[in-house]
Structure 1
Amino acid sequence: MEAIEPVYGTATLLLIAAGAVALLLFLIMKVKLHAFVSLVLVSVLTALAVGFPLADIPDVLMFGFADTLGSVALLVAFGVMLGRLLEVTGGAQVLADTLIARFGERRAPLALGVAALLFGFPIFFDAGLVVFLPIILTVARRFGGSLLFYALPAAGAFAAMHAIVPPHPGPVAATEQLGGDIGVTLLIGIPIALVAWYVGVYLVSRFLGARVFVSVSDVVFGAARDAHGRTDAERVENDDAPGNDDAPGKAGVPGERGVRLGQQPPRFGTVLGLLLIPLVLISCDTVLDTLGTAGTLDADEGFPAFLGLLGTTPVALMITVIVAIMVLGKPRTSMEGVRKIVDEALGPICAIILITGAGGMFGGVLELSGIGDALSSSLSDLGFSLILQAFIIATLLRVAQGSATVALTTTGGLIAGSVGEAGLSNPQIALLVVAIAAGATVLSHVNDSGFWLVSRFFGMDEKTTLKTWTVMETTLGLSAFAVALGLWAVI
């Protein structure tokens, strides 16, 4: 669908968007209305408020919902299947043990982040997070303390690579719009992403983890109970009880988590090879897309098209799950046992998928409301330097309508004319792309479907997600912009 011609001015549209966000937070955090119901209700009210024709509102609602659901449902489903198989066969524990043996307990969060940076080079944010989820949760459960110590460095690494570094679609599209060179953007984007991740994610995660306790999510593990028969939530409530020697942060006794397989766990090489399957397949698709965009080959015909199909994220994850069933599940149990494991994994994720889809619905309503076009026309001549203008426009578009991709591509189109007139070099254009990506990263909140994905994967309520994920995304974006701005001054 296309955005409607705005009925109201920019200021009125911004007030409507702000009022919709405030109402959503009130319904979820104060009234305690379920997030899915709240998101759908506020999406309908927002569509009415901005002036969509009544007959078009159902299609408007389905625009964001179907788009988000189509991309998220298969990823989450195949991801939790893989995670559950890794968990019940001991594969996730083998990975965690190897990681800790190589890097040490104190450096476990750093190791997770570095691994996610490497894994996230060709893989989109949501796919990488799904695959890494069992490893993050296993390490966090083993050492205790807040899940944020382990989850944020990895999730932030995927976010940094996805936003800033080609061949991810956002920076590639912006580079093309501005007439830059993708190779130069890659060479400049990688070191900026690494610095921004270390300062804006890793160091910030240590600060947040020390102040906000988040227990390990049951998305992969199920409701685990310790040797005393208590769940994680029950242990947190009794942290201060006299004589309690099983508080988070201390080594606990592993609990029973539904279907368990007691045979010999798989070898490290087997588990690593399994995780490399989606990495290799998706990498092939990413490289082919990049070569096709550059006109080097026709990625839509013949063998390249077949490789592209295998590298499509849902197909790559499906293949990985089938291989996991053959090499992890089948040697240790019957196919009926594997079916029970998979069913056990799929049960808890219905809410995650629906809430994430509804978050996409809300963002889609704002996107189609014309708020982006109205903001674009108001911000097209700010009078600032190009790099500051790029960051501000991307930030305002991100906050207003939620989609980082829309904010990135819209900003690129807005400033393309000025960039052409300025006659900038390829390194300067690369820094502009980083500035746009930084603005499109900050302030992830309730109109961003990724906000809901992170919230539900890590078992955080909305207030906690705002205090942690939103803060970390903002520090990541600000760190990337600060580095780009400093380099802009000297290039």
Structure 2
Amino acid sequence: MSHSTLLLIAAAGVATLLLLILRAKVQPFVALVVVSIGVALAAGVPAADLVKTIEEGMGSTLGHIATIIALGAMIGRIIELSGGAASFAHSLIDRFGSNRTPLALTVAGFVLGIPVFFEVGLIILMPIAYGVARASRKPLLVHALPMGAAMLTVHAFLPPHPGAVAVTQAIGADQGLVLLLGIPLTAVVILLGYLISRRMTRRAYPMDPAVHAEVYGEEPTSPEASSTPAIPTADDGHGTAVLTKSARTTTTAPDPALRPPSFGMVLALIVAPILLILAGTLGQNLLAEGSTFRAVLTVLGAPMVALLIDVALCAWLLGARRGWDRTHIANVMGSALPSVAMVILVAGAGGVFGKVLVASGIGDAIADVLDRTGLPALFLAFLTALALRAAQGSTTVALITTAGILTPLLQRADLSTAQLSLVALAMGAGGLAVSHINDAGYWMFTKLAGLDVASGLRTWTVLTTAMGIIGFGLTAALWPLV
């Protein structure tokens, strides 16, 4: 089959995927599997090999990422239900002082965004932003905008979030290097995003009267304020439903009789798996082969092992030591799994799509076309992820699909592990940008912040796009160094 025909099949497959997700409202997992089967058959994959190809794509992807996503969700759930997340945020506000509460909440969003999914983190921290805005009599957006953008940035760039984990596995990058390069890069992106948001929030934006009354305890006096519809319930492509308006006050609360975990304990539990993974990566690169110490660091630094150790520490320090019995600890851990089940399946279906592209020869055809453009792999990674993010809304789906499309090109380019890690971060930058009306995260933030559609586009969409471009610029600046 000619390259032109294969490329037409690929374009039709991507277009069908977008139509199924956007128009037909088909769940992304189902859409990816259906499109993968259709593309495989149209591209000439033998019917006898079709099931095997799907199973190999699903198995090779889930074998690496399913455990990591599940363990990461358990850590976030324990921190959330123990009261650790709220305690951590309040401690930061106390440390930064009343004049720097927006920066304190931004830092809280950055740190808590590592183990906690974006949607959950927003539900945890938004009531704190409400309280701070009420006490300071400042606009809610001053506190909420940089905080929400910080959590979305971490969600797009860093493991153990599903898109970052799937991309790292698919293109052959190293999770330790992604973290080593990505954490400081993400911190800079968030800091610059905070500065941009300060300029954005100098002007006032209309606020939903219901949210204004909830935050400030009074009706707004601005004639521009207009009512907005209730928060829609929809899947965001990550497997997490956008919560209804009542979710503002129905988040599961920790037992008030228990003293909340300390700032230092929560920080240590968030940082512990990151340090173990980094130690494993450094050990593999700096210590001699056959060294016992290198072998120990390699095992402890494996992402699955590092997260498993941290789950045990969270269960003991935040649970058993504070009075939770074994049944309650097991229930809390189990409660994290339903929300990530669809995340894991979407990631696996993305692996199927990537496998089909390779098995059918479409991957090589795409690689030939992209090679002839002369554009650097880093730029192609960013641009493809950004286009898919803008088209269908979900960061996770955009990253997984981009990895499937570009993997053959990246294999042909013979890039180092460090360069592949930067490519993964460039995809994350594209996945961060252009959060707009087809993204459930956009609706969740704007409704919780009381913004109308136009104000959301002028603030949230512009800020996330600017931060995505900054993130790509930083990856490009690091490229000559690796």
Output the CA distance in 2 between the equivalents of 1:158 and 1:262: 32
**1:307 has 2:301 as partner:** no
Output the CA distance in 2 between the equivalents of 1:389 and 1:65: 29
Task: Give the deviation of 1:377 after TM superposition.
Answer: 3.1
Corresponding residue for 2:351? 360
**1:284 has 2:279 as partner:** yes
Corresponding residue for 1:377? 368
**1:96 has 2:93 as partner:** no
Work out whether residues 438 and 477 of structure 1, in 8 Å CA contact, stay in contact via their aligned partners in 2: no
**1:334 has 2:321 as partner:** no
Task: Give the deviation of 1:87 after TM superposition.
Answer: 1.9
Q: 2:48 aligns with which of 52, 55, 62?
A: 55
Q: Write the letter of the residue equivalent to 1:345.
A: A
Using a 3 Å threshold, how does the CA distance of structure 1 residues 197 and 367 change in structure 2: closer, same or farther? Answer: farther
Output the CA distance in 2 between the equivalents of 1:204 and 1:479: 14
Q: 1:68 aligns with which of 45, 49, 61?
A: 61
Task: Give the deviation of 1:36 after TM superposition.
Answer: 2.3
Using a 3 Å threshold, how does the CA distance of structure 1 residues 205 and 303 change in structure 2: closer, same or farther? Answer: farther
Output the CA distance in 1 between the equivalents of 2:464 and 2:430: 6
Using a 3 Å threshold, how does the CA distance of structure 1 residues 12 and 351 change in structure 2: closer, same or farther? Answer: same
**1:84 has 2:77 as partner:** yes
Question: C-alpha deviations, 1:210-238, integer Å up to 9, x for none?
Answer: 8999xxxxxxxxxxxxxxxxxxxxx9855
Corresponding residue for 2:2? 8
Output the CA distance in 1 between the equivalents of 2:197 and 2:359: 34
**1:28 has 2:14 as partner:** no
Q: The residue matched to 1:106 in structure 2 has which SS?
A: helix
> What are the residue-to-residue correspondences of 1:215-230 with 2, within 5 Å?
none
Task: Give the deviation of 1:66 after TM superposition.
Answer: 1.9
Output the CA distance in 1 between the equivalents of 2:36 and 2:172: 29
Output the CA distance in 1 between the equivalents of 2:307 and 2:33: 29
Q: The residue matched to 1:276 in structure 2 has which SS?
A: helix
Task: Give the deviation of 1:44 after TM superposition.
Answer: 0.8
Question: C-alpha deviations, 1:427-470, integer Å up to 9, x for none?
Answer: xxx9x98996676456549xxxxxxxx979x989xxx9xx9999
> What are the residue-to-residue correspondences of 1:225-264 with 2, within 5 Å?
237=229, 254-255=249-250, 257=252, 260=255, 262-264=257-259
> What are the residue-to-residue correspondences of 1:200-215 with 2, within 5 Å?
203=196
Corresponding residue for 2:267? 272
Corresponding residue for 1:110? 106
**1:324 has 2:334 as partner:** no
Output the CA distance in 1 between the equivalents of 2:381 and 2:304: 29
> What are the residue-to-residue correspondences of 1:430-445 with 2, within 5 Å?
440-441=427-428, 443-444=430-431
Task: Give the deviation of 1:49 after TM superposition.
Answer: 1.5
Output the CA distance in 1 between the equivalents of 2:273 and 2:147: 22
Q: The residue matched to 1:31 in structure 2 has which SS?
A: coil
Work out whether residues 145 and 197 of structure 2, in 8 Å CA contact, stay in contact via their aligned partners in 1: no
Work out whether residues 435 and 480 of structure 1, in 8 Å CA contact, stay in contact via their aligned partners in 2: no
Corresponding residue for 1:449? none
Q: Write the letter of the residue equivalent to 1:402.
A: T
Using a 3 Å threshold, how does the CA distance of structure 1 residues 332 and 471 change in structure 2: closer, same or farther? Answer: same
Q: How many residues end up aligned between the 2 structures?
A: 390
Work out whether residues 282 and 311 of structure 1, in 8 Å CA contact, stay in contact via their aligned partners in 2: yes
Q: Write the letter of the residue equivalent to 2:334.
A: D
Work out whether residues 74 and 311 of structure 2, in 8 Å CA contact, stay in contact via their aligned partners in 1: yes
**1:402 has 2:398 as partner:** no
Q: Percent identity?
A: 31
Using a 3 Å threshold, how does the CA distance of structure 1 residues 289 and 409 change in structure 2: closer, same or farther? Answer: farther
Corresponding residue for 1:231? none
Task: Give the deviation of 1:311 after TM superposition.
Answer: 1.4
Output the CA distance in 2 between the equivalents of 1:434 and 1:201: 25
Work out whether residues 84 and 341 of structure 1, in 8 Å CA contact, stay in contact via their aligned partners in 2: yes
Task: Give the deviation of 1:59 after TM superposition.
Answer: 2.4
TM-score calculated relative to the size of structure 2:
0.63
Task: Give 5+ residue unaligned stretches, structure 1.
Answer: 1-6, 120-127, 163-167, 176-181, 214-234, 240-247, 417-429, 446-453
Using a 3 Å threshold, how does the CA distance of structure 1 residues 308 and 409 change in structure 2: closer, same or farther? Answer: farther
Task: Give the deviation of 1:97 after TM superposition.
Answer: 0.9
Q: The residue matched to 1:70 in structure 2 has which SS?
A: helix
Corresponding residue for 2:239? none
Q: Write the letter of the residue equivalent to 1:106.
A: P
Work out whether residues 78 and 314 of structure 2, in 8 Å CA contact, stay in contact via their aligned partners in 1: yes
Work out whether residues 82 and 321 of structure 1, in 8 Å CA contact, stay in contact via their aligned partners in 2: yes
Using a 3 Å threshold, how does the CA distance of structure 1 residues 472 and 317 change in structure 2: closer, same or farther? Answer: farther
